[in-house]
Structure formats: structure tokens, C-alpha cells
């Protein structure tokens, strides 16, 4: 569903195709309607150029690649990253370049993309955060035990649910209050809200529905070791911050009884296949994030250094799906848990305040229904009114 190409270096994924495949067959419980299909808002994946500030747009080529200023100051050696970081950056860059040279992969990406600094995607993202203000946290949990995805109503809001899913919109510190600690999960995925001053400033601009950032010691206290099976895997999305990586390897894994197995890299690219920003040899953003994988079973063999390439969503922390690429390392019918979840997955348990974030009906459209042009604009730009619910249990 999501894997467009698999090579020795890694995988090319389509997050958008993965979502649309999940909702090819949907029912609406409130309307007793026949099956129909839903498609996710593709504008959020309309990443046609490198990530730039507005004053940098004029320095971008029409194909989306960046152009350096003619008057470029020579990098001072003191500004360069430490040698081991430079080695890793060059490794990821070489892996990505090797993967992208394949003729089959080159055909996946469009060479006729019109670059406009991702204007539509950025506008859609801004509208979401400015229009969907959650003024207080909510507590809610439910499940959807059906072989078909469905649209269900919660209070006065409609949400899309994949088949066979369970969710807990609760504080992660309450895991042991709702989930038995019986080492039952074969795969635990986490995308922690790492403490970050830059993100903290941005969140102060919008009172948005985001996880509160957590300190490293708080993350280490989560009972992952008691949730993970003896041969299970835990995978953690990690920024390129040395402190975050150190926390995983030296604090979280030892407390959970987990041993490091592999480090994978998510390389973010535009629709034309260019990285969303340059590989940076100095302190600054990189076009990739880390995925750190560990297990309790020291005999497990997980390949190290794989890369995942995909066009990212314009929404913050909307990570690409891992279900297909991790499946070969799990049992045939694995029990999977995502913590700090932002969207639901079939046959998974999802936990976190934002577990229903990308399930709201406002993110979807029905391709079989003709919507007038003006109505369509209203449909996508209307307020993403989210939940103002407290202590509601929903069993959809």
C-alpha cells in the first residue's frame, strides 16, 4: 500500500497512497449508507519545493532545488559539526543518492513540478492550526471492531475509523491505568514530544492541540519494558539532537531492558525527488530524521542504516507509516501499539491526546460525489473544529 519501491538501501513510501488505500471501502453508520471511498486531502502533501523562508524564495530554481548566493562566506572550521556527525550525514547522503539513481525510482517522482514554495500546503497547515483550537485537554477512548472502515459521529463531530482499531485519547503517563502490563505487544512505536526551545516558541504562537513537551527523564519512566514482548521491537522517532539520541540509548533503553538494534533514516523529499533542504555540515536543519530501533531479544537481527524516502506532510509530526516495512520483522498477526499517536491504524492500539487528530472528516473528501467549486473551498478551509469533550467513552 505505501511501499512504492524497495531496494538494498531502503524504501520509497507514499504516505498519501497508504491513507487512501485504507479508506477505499467505507461505511457511514449514521446514514446506513452503502460502501463508498474517501481520499485524504492531497494538498497537505503538495511539497513542490525546498523548505525556505519567504525571503529565500527568489534563490530557488524552477525545479525546486536551492541556489547558493554568489557571495557565500567561507565556512569557519569552528562551525562545522563534529567528525562523527559529518560521517553520518555523508552516509545518509550517499545512500539517498544511490537509491535515487535507479531508473525505476526516478520514474516515481515528477520532473514537471511547478515550484511555489509549497504555498498551498503551508496555507492548509496554517488554517488547521489557527481554526482548530482546543482550549482544554480531553479524555476519550473507544474502539472500532469492524472489518470495514467507517465514519462515525462523536458528539457533533464526524471521524473516520480504520478497521479493527482501538484508541485512548489520554495522557501517556496513564498507560498503566488502561493497558495491562503483560508484555503483550510485538511492536511499540513512539514519536515523543522532545523538549525543544524552537518548537516551544512556535507552540506559544498558536494554542494548538499538541502534546506537551516532555523531559527525558519523564519518557524513561514510561512502562515500555512491561508492555513489550520478550522478542518485540520498539521504534522511536528521534530528532538529530545529540541529547535526544543519548536519552534513548543511555536512559530509556537501559531502564526498559531494551538493547539497541538499528538506526534508520527518514529522508524527506519534494514531489520532484529533491531533498527538502540541503545536507548541512554546520549546525542547522537536516533533510532527515532518525528512527531508533531496539529489542529485548539480543538474538534479533534488524538491518542497520536503512533509509526511508517519502514526501512529507505539511502537518507537524505527521510521520510516514511503518506497517509494511516493519512487518517482515514481526509475527504474522502482531500486536502493535503506538504511543503519542496522531492517527489510527488498522489492527493497532493508538494512545495519545492527538490520536484522532488526522481522523477528522474535514481531512477527507469523497471522489464519487461532485462538489461545487465554491462548496469545495468551504469544505476544505472551514474550521477544523475538534473535540471539546471530557471523560467520554465511545465504543464505535
Q: For position 396, what pLDDT does the model report?
A: 35
3-state SS record for the chain: CCEEEECCCEEEECHHHHHHHHCCCEEECCCCCCCECCEECHHHHCCCCCCCCHHHHHHECCCCCECCCCCCCCCCHHHECCHHHHHHHHHHHHHHHHHHCCHHHHCCCCCCCCCCCCHHHHHHHHHHHHHCCCCCCCCEEEEECCCCEEEEEECCEEEEECCCEEEEECCHHHHHHHCCCCCCEEEEEECCCECCHHHHHHHHHCCCCCCCCECHHHHHCCCHHHHEEEEEEEEEEECCCHHHHHHHHHHHHHHHCCEEEEEEEEEEECCCCCECCCCCCECCCCCEEEEEEEECCCCCCCCCCCEEEECCCCCCCCCCCCHHHHHHHCCCCCCEEEECCCCCCCCEEEECCCCCHHHEHHHEECCCCCCCHHHHHHHHHCCCCCCCCCCEECCC
- What's the pLDDT band for 368 if we cut at 50, 70, 90? confident
Residues 162/149, Cβ–Cβ less than 8 Å: yes
Residues 345/321, Cβ–Cβ less than 8 Å: yes
pLDDT tops 80 at residue 10: yes
The tens digit of pLDDT for each residue in 141-176 reads 999 999 999 999 888 889 999 999 999 999 999 999
- What's the pLDDT band for 139 if we cut at 50, 70, 90? confident
- What are residue 264's DSSP bridge partners? 291
Please compute the mean of the pLDDT values over residues 1-5 and round it to a whole number. Answer: 88
- Ranking 37-41, 152-156, 244-248, 346-350 by mean pLDDT, the lowest is 152-156
Q: Which sequence spans correspond to the domains of the chain?
A: 3-52+95-393
Q: For position 76, what pLDDT does the model report?
A: 53
Query: What pTM, to 2 d.p., does this model score?
Result: 0.85
Residues 211/352, Cβ–Cβ less than 8 Å: yes
pLDDT tops 70 at residue 205: no
Q: For position 78, what pLDDT does the model report?
A: 58
- Ranking 108-112, 290-294, 313-317 by mean pLDDT, the lowest is 108-112
The C-alpha cell of 219 is what?
519518557
- What average pLDDT is seen over the chain? 83
Amino acid at each position: 500500500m505505501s511501499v512504492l519501491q524497495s531496494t538494498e538501501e531502503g524504501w520509497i513510501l507514499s504516505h498519501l497512497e497508504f491513507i487512501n488505500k485504507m479508506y477505499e471501502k467505507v461505511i457511514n453508520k449514521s446514514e446506513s449508507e452503502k460502501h463508498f471511498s474517501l481520499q485524504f486531502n492531497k494538498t497537505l502533501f503538495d511539497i513542490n519545493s525546498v523548505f525556505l523562508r519567504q525571503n529565500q524564495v527568489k534563490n530557488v530554481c524552477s525545479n525546486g532545488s536551492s541556489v547558493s548566493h554568489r557571495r557565500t562566506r567561507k565556512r569557519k572550521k569552528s562551525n562545522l559539526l563534529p567528525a562523527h556527525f559529518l560521517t553520518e550525514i555523508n552516509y545518509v547522503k550517499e545512500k539517498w543518492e544511490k537509491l535515487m539513481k535507479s531508473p525505476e525510482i526516478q520514474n516515481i517522482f515528477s520532473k514537471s513540478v511547478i515550484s511555489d514554495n509549497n504555498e498551498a500546503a503551508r496555507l492548509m497547515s496554517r488554517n488547521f492550526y489557527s481554526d482548530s483550537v482546543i482550549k482544554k485537554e480531553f479524555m476519550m477512548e473507544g474502539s472500532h471492531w469492524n472489518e470495514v472502515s467507517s465514519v462515525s459521529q462523536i458528539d457533533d463531530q464526524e471521524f473516520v475509523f480504520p478497521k479493527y482499531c482501538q484508541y485512548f485519547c489520554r495522557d501517556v503517563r496513564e498507560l498503566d491505568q488502561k493497558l495491562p502490563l503483560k508484555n503483550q505487544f510485538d511492536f511499540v512505536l513512539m514519536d515523543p514530544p522532545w523538549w525543544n526551545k524552537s518548537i516551544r516558541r512556535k507552540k506559544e504562537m498558536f494554542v494548538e492541540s499538541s502534546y506537551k513537551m516532555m523531559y527525558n527523564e519523564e519518557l524513561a519512566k514510561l512502562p515500555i519494558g512491561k508492555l513489550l514482548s520478550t522478542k518485540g521491537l520498539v521504534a522511536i522517532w528521534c530528532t538529530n539532537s545529540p541529547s535526544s539520541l543519548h536519552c534513548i540509548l543511555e536512559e530509556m533503553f537501559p531502564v526498559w531492558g531494551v538493547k539497541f538494534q538499528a538506526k534508520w533514516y527518514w529522508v524527506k523529499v519534494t514531489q520532484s525527488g529533491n531533498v527538502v533542504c540541503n545536507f548541512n555540515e554546520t549546525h542547522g536543519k537536516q533533510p532527515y530524521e532518525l528512527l531508533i530501533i531496539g529489542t529485548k531479544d539480543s538474538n534479533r537481527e534488524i538491518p542497520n542504516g536503512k533509509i526511508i524516502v517519502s514526501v512529507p506532510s505539511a502537518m507537524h509530526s505527521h510521520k510516514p507509516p511503518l506497517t509494511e516495512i516493519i512487518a517482515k520483522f514481526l509475527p504474522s498477526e502482531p500486536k502493535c501499539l503506538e504511543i503519542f499517536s496522531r492517527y489510527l491504524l488498522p489492527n493497532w492500539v493508538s494512545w495519545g491526546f492527538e490520536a484522532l487528530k488526522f481522523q477528522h472528516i474535514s481531512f477527507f473528501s469523497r471522489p464519487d460525489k461532485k462538489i461545487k467549486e465554491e462548496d469545495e473551498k468551504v469544505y476544505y478551509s472551514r474550521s477544523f473544529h475538534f473535540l471539546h469533550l471530557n471523560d467520554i467513552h465511545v465504543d464505535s
